[in-house]
Amino acid sequence: MVRLPSYTPWRGKRLAQEFVRKFRDDYPFLLPFLSSEEEFLRVSAVELLEYLCCHFETVPAELLALRQPLPDLIKEEVELNHFTRGQGIETVGDLLCNEYLPEDD
């Protein structure tokens, strides 16, 4: 028997993707969670906003201008990623700009 490798997205990831497809235009309700005392809520809000940005033709300027600091867990991921390390990504807006603003040629 030959087994072929396959990738099955984690259920949480698929749930998040479905959530943002359904509620894309209602994103402002997520913004208060970026200032929550609980890191889990802050991380969840940032991740949902990242997924959400994939579904916009043009990411709303309001999201790119967010000044809330990144949760520690996401800061660690940014610094471990060789594409984002040392790029000065400190806020949610910085992260979204890095991923979703077109590069200048």
What are 25-47's pLDDT values in tens digits?
899 999 999 999 999 999 999 99
Tell me how crowded residue 11 is: count the other CB atoms within 10 A of its CB: 8
Domain count, the chain: 1
Give residue 20's identity as a one-letter amino acid code.
Answer: V
Instruction: Tell me if the pTM is above 0.85.
Output: no
Residue 43 contacts residue 73 (beta carbons within 8 Å): yes
SS percent in the chain: helix, strand, coil, step 5: 60, 0, 40
Q: What is the mean pLDDT of residues 54-83?
A: 93
In a domain, 4, yes or no: no
In a domain, 5, yes or no: no
In a domain, 105, yes or no: no
The parent domain of residue 83 ranges over 11-100
pLDDT at 7: 58
Cross-strand bridge partners of residue 91: 69
In a domain, 3, yes or no: no
